[in-house]
Structures are given as structure tokens and as C-alpha cells.
Structure 1
Amino acid sequence: MENQITFTRAGKGEHIAVVTMNRPDKLNALTKVMEAQLRETMEAVDRDDSIRVVVLTGAGKGFCAGMDINELEVLPPDDIRGAQWMRPFDMNRRADYQTRYGYFPAMRKPVIAAINGAAAGLGLVFALYSDMRFASSSTAFSTAFARRGLIAEHGISWLLPRVVGPGHAADLLYSARKVLADEALRIGLVDRVFEPDDLLDQTLDYADDLARNVSPRSIRVMKRQMWEQPFQSLAEATRMANAEMFDSIQSEDFREGVAHFIERRQANFTGK
């Protein structure tokens, strides 16, 4: 089977997984093969304890231009209401984050989208399900759905208002207009913008800092706290934090965090 997803390691300790959508001649438009390989790869790197950060990007000049139009023309299409797309895959994870494309938040590792070019439709969905979004200054974004006679797919009507606010979300969804990198940064759609030639290096530098200098256990817990928060009251979030703080004080990473600070040396976190 053709490899439409590639995986390499990066960083000084090779603790970073670089996952690349690899159909550059099609601006990495999504196919069923790519969809399956992406989930398989992301699940595999999440299980690998030697990997601490995941960077998702696209080969060539695009991030992901959405679903391949040739696959959209095949009738009848898959019924996305089907149990195979909506069932919980792991009962230890919140069911909200086990849907067809919504599994990034259930991963234990932070996912940084390095958006190197066009991000439309499902490409934007992947970016929004990531923990952070770093973009090339040449990037263009579009929801695309309304211009194809479609709707706000795959939970984007829930995600987008939380990222950019309800007014901007309505604008981007209803108009499906193109949004360039400078506007994306201004409205909070992306977190950082770099020159095209610098994007991957800058993203990897940031990821390497996370991988080497902060506790993987802390990130794992904080990521879960942040993605649980939309479903919690303040009191529930506080109770969760209190329970997690009790556990963290007893962890190996807490002892190492204190020791490396006092001893003025490089941290050696284990994630335990």
C-alpha cells in the first residue's frame, strides 16, 4: 500500500515525532488510505514512551487541502453516522474525543500543527484538533464547507468558536472565505507565524524545548485538564486539579523537577 503518511524522529534526543501528510502533488488532499494511515501512525506514536511531542505537517507546499474531490464523487458515500466512526475505541478515554477525526485530544502527547500551506476543510479540522498551531506566512485557511454545499463537519462548530470566538467562527463558516496568515494570527486561529523556510525549524526548536526541559507527566495531565475543561464547572475543574496535584507531588518527575533546579543541571524527566 502506498505510504501517504510518513513518520520521522527529530530533536536532540529524538523525542519528537514528525508526522507528515505525504501527497504533495495534491496539496495533501485526504484519501481513505491517508485517513487510516494517519490514525494508525498517531496512535502508534502516542503509545511510544520515547516520543514526547508530535509535530503534524504536510509535504510540499500544502498542509492539507481537505478531502480529495475524486473521493467525494464516489457514490454512495460512507455514512459518517455509522458505528465504526462514532463508537468509543478506548473506554479509558472521553468518548467526545474518539470520533472519526477527533482523536487528537485523547492522545497523551502534545500535538503541534506546523501548517506549511493551504489548510482547508478537513485540513483545518486537523489543525483545530491540535493543541497548538504554528503557520507559515504563506498559509491560507478556509473552512470550505459552505462552498461545497456541506455543513460544519466533524465537530468544527464546537471547536472553532472556542478558538476564535463565535463572531469570527460564524464568518469563517458561513463565508468559507480564504484567511491569510496575518489575519489568522490576529483572530487567534494560529498561535505563531514564521517565514516559510523557518517554519519547521522553529516548530522543532519549540518542540525540542518541551521534549527536553519539561515533565512529560505534567504535560500529559495538563493536556487532559485542558480538554476536559469544556465539560466541567469551575468547581469540577478545581477538584480535578486538587486530585492531580496530590498525585504529582508523589511522582518521580516532581522529585526530579526539584532536584535539577536545586542542583542547577539539565532535567532528566522520565514521565513517571
Structure 2
Amino acid sequence: MRNDLSVRTHAGVTILKFSRPESMNAMTPDMEGALRDAIEAASVDPDVKVILLTGEGRAFCAGADLKAVKAGDYYEKQGKLLARADATEAPYIGRFSYFALCPKPIIAFLNGAAIGVGMTIALHCDIRLVNSDAKLSFAFPRLGLAAEEGVAFLLPRLIGASAAMELLLSGKRFTGRDAASYGLATLLDDPEPDEAAALARVGDMFDLCSPDAMRRIKAQIWESWLAEYETAIRTARKEVMESRNSADFAEAVAGFAEKRPPRFQGLES
């Protein structure tokens, strides 16, 4: 058990749960590092067939912890995570490339709010299951930021360019039911879905399917994207770094701290 991530393995399934419900599981670098450690451990565990990722409480992950950003060394710690990602032996780089490298299917159960980096993580999972009432958003433009690692590459490939443009350029909130209509996630029919309902939906994967065949199929899909993915990651890092150093992002953080809408340049009436 980690303070920010709980890990439980039973009957061939590792359940990873973001465990900062008081902050709606807002992401910190320590939490992100714990996630990578847990997925890499499950990757080499012969008893694990499937990994389920979800959140405790009302949220999956409600974005980066802007309180931690304002407080200090958030980006210094995140830089160490990026260096770790770039040192990974793989045919491509990426902050979340280890999701694709994992030979086990990774399923995101979006039990509640998934915003910003919460959606970035969900896109890097192999399957997304969603609660119909979950509140989702690619919030980047509302924070004065470019789309981060892999998002502008993966989302159009999952739901088409037009729908991806709508969601990314507006940063609007949409529901789990909307996500299912876009083809972004599979809706769980249970009125109050939980981990058990999510596992029941994918039960055939760990009851009837060959782990070796699943490994091969997952690799086939991800490897078909690799060459373009690395180029997209490098572009995203450049754009995110520039936008993160902008006056607009500073204004977004200030607006969050002061509990008011941000006053971005160019939006004056």
C-alpha cells in the first residue's frame, strides 16, 4: 500500500487505485512514479493476467495537483520522471510509453472525474470502461496549455479527427455516456458500477484468453503506431514546455488558487 496508490492482486488481476480521494486523486509526481513502479512490477509477475486502473472516491484522476504546482518543486520532480522515461529501452520515448510496453492488458475504469492528465493516462490504457455520470475533460486549453504527451496523437486515432478537435480545442466537459457515444470508452450498464462490474465486463480476458496471444495482439496494435508516436511526443513536449512558461498558465494557476475563472490574454471583452 502506498499513500497515493493502492495495489492489490487477486485471481490473476492487479487492481491499482489512485488513493488521494480528498483531492479527487489529483496527480503528483510521487503518485505518477508509484503508478509506473506498480505497472512495471505487474508486467513481470507471472500470476498477473490483467491490470485494472481506477480511483478511490468520486474521481479517477481530476488532473494535475495545481496546489502542488503552486507550492514548489512539482516540475523538478516531473523532470526526473521524464528522464526515467527517456532512459527506457524501447523503440520510442514517452512519459507513459511503459503502458504500451507492458505485456498485460491495462484497463482504465473511469469511475468518476477524469480531467487533464487523468484523460492522458486513460488514453494510454488498452481499454477504457466508464461510469455514465463520470465528468471528463481534456482541460488543457482552459489552463493555457498545449495537449500533453501523446494526447493529440492518440485521441484522433481513437475517435476520429473531427471529434478529437472538438474535445481538445474546447476543453469542454463531457460525460461517460458522451465518451461511449464518441467510441472513446465502453459504458458500464450497472447504475452504480464498481470494480467488480468493471472486471465482469472483461472477465473473458482472464478466464478464456491466452495471455501470450493477448500480449502479441497488444504489441501488434501499439507497434503499428510507434514511428509516428515518437515524433508526436517530441512535438508535445516542446509545445507544453512553451505553454507552461507562458503568462496564460501562470494566470490559470492563480485563478485556481483564487477560485475564479482565469483571465487569459485575448479574452478581454
Judge same fold: TM > 0.5, yes or no. Answer: yes
For residue 78 of structure 1, report the CA deviation from its aligned partner.
Answer: 2.5
For residue 81 of structure 1, report the CA deviation from its aligned partner.
Answer: 7.0
1:125 paired residue number? 120
After TM superposition, the structure 1 = structure 2 runs for residues 120-159 of structure 1, keeping only pairs within 5 Å, are 120-159=115-154
1:174 paired residue number? 169
For residue 42 of structure 1, report the CA deviation from its aligned partner.
Answer: 0.9
Q: Is 2:188–2:197's contact at 8 Å kept on the other side of the alignment?
A: no
Distance 2:73 2:39 in 1: 29
For residue 216 of structure 1, report the CA deviation from its aligned partner.
Answer: 0.3
* 1:94 aligned to which of 91, 96, 106: 91
2:38 corresponds to 1:41? yes
For residue 190 of structure 1, report the CA deviation from its aligned partner.
Answer: 0.8
Distance 1:8 1:199 in 2: 15
TM-score by length of 1: 0.77
1:26 paired residue number? 23
Structure 1 pair 21/53, CA: closer, same or farther in 2 (3 Å)? same
After TM superposition, the structure 1 = structure 2 runs for residues 222-237 of structure 1, keeping only pairs within 5 Å, are 222-231=217-226
1:254 paired residue number? none
Give the AA of the match of 1:37: A
1:3-61 deviation line (CA, Å, top 9, x unaligned): 21101123xxx100100000011110011211111111111111101000000000011
RMSD over aligned CA atoms reads 2.1
Q: Which structure 2 residue ranges, 5 or more long, are not aligned?
A: 228-269
Percent of pairs with identical residues = 32
TM-score by length of 2: 0.78
Higher Cα radius of gyration? 1
Q: Is 1:16–1:208's contact at 8 Å kept on the other side of the alignment?
A: no
2:60 paired residue number? 63
Give the number of equivalent residue pairs. 226
For residue 159 of structure 1, report the CA deviation from its aligned partner.
Answer: 0.8
SS at match of 2:224: helix
Distance 2:199 2:189 in 1: 12
2:82 corresponds to 1:73? no
Distance 1:3 1:67 in 2: 17
Q: Which structure 1 residue ranges, 5 or more long, are not aligned?
A: 233-272
Q: Is 1:138–1:196's contact at 8 Å kept on the other side of the alignment?
A: no
SS at match of 1:95: coil
For residue 183 of structure 1, report the CA deviation from its aligned partner.
Answer: 1.4
